[in-house]
Amino acid sequence: MTLRVATGKCVLIGGLVKVEVKEDSKPFLLTFYVSNDIKLHLTDSSKADEFIEKHIGESLSPPLSPGLQRMQQIGEWESHDLSIDGGGWKEAAADISIRGLGWVAVTGAGCARIRVSVPEKVGVSVRPPLMPYDIWDSAASFTGGRTVMKPKSRKRSN
């Protein structure tokens, strides 16, 4: 799924990862390659921690119930600040790999300053994109309440 993420916004990948666009970055398109069982939630970075506490184990999963107790078992979190030079809108510039969970392809122009927060000892790295051109097949819009996939256009033959 691809979401447009602007400065001051973040995407929660279940209750396990927070991906924020920081500082004066232009909006970027982030394509998430994770299990369909993991829910994505776009929110303001300033409200993310409160949202996690309120919705962990419910609309944010994994980790599974009991939410806050399970989060305490997971332990401390650490943040990784990344800078990715976007090469334009036609293909992804890089992937942010999150060990054991999946990856996020970053597409856009300019420099993306991204903070990835994960539980300690979860590896985060940047690599060349595995699927640089898949962005436009997976674009979605965020309605404020839920993410909606755009319908694919069908070509008619005459």
**Is there a domain that residue 87 lies in?**
yes
Q: How many domains does the chain have?
A: 1
pLDDT in tens, 45-74: 898 878 877 777 666 666 555 556 666 777
**Is there a domain that residue 14 lies in?**
yes
Residue 23 domain boundaries: 2-141
Considering the chain, what percentage of its residues have pLDDT values greater than 70?
Answer: 75
Sign, Cα dihedral of 21, 112, 79, 133: positive
**Is there a domain that residue 153 lies in?**
no
Burial readout 122-141 (b: 16 or more C-beta within 10 A, e: otherwise): bebebeebeebebbeebebe
pLDDT in tens, 119-141: 898 999 999 999 988 876 655 55
pLDDT in tens, 67-86: 566 667 777 889 999 999 99
**Is there a domain that residue 81 lies in?**
yes
Contacts of 69 (CB under 8 A, 6+ apart): none
User: Do residues 128 and 94 make contact, with C-beta atoms less than 8 angstroms apart?
Assistant: yes
**Is there a domain that residue 41 lies in?**
yes
**Is there a domain that residue 39 lies in?**
yes
**Is there a domain that residue 157 lies in?**
no
Conformation bin of residue 104: beta by default, left when phi > 0, alpha when psi is -120 to 50: beta
Contacts of 100 (CB under 8 A, 6+ apart): 122
Angle, vertex CA 83, rays to CA 48 and CA 6, nearest 5: 45
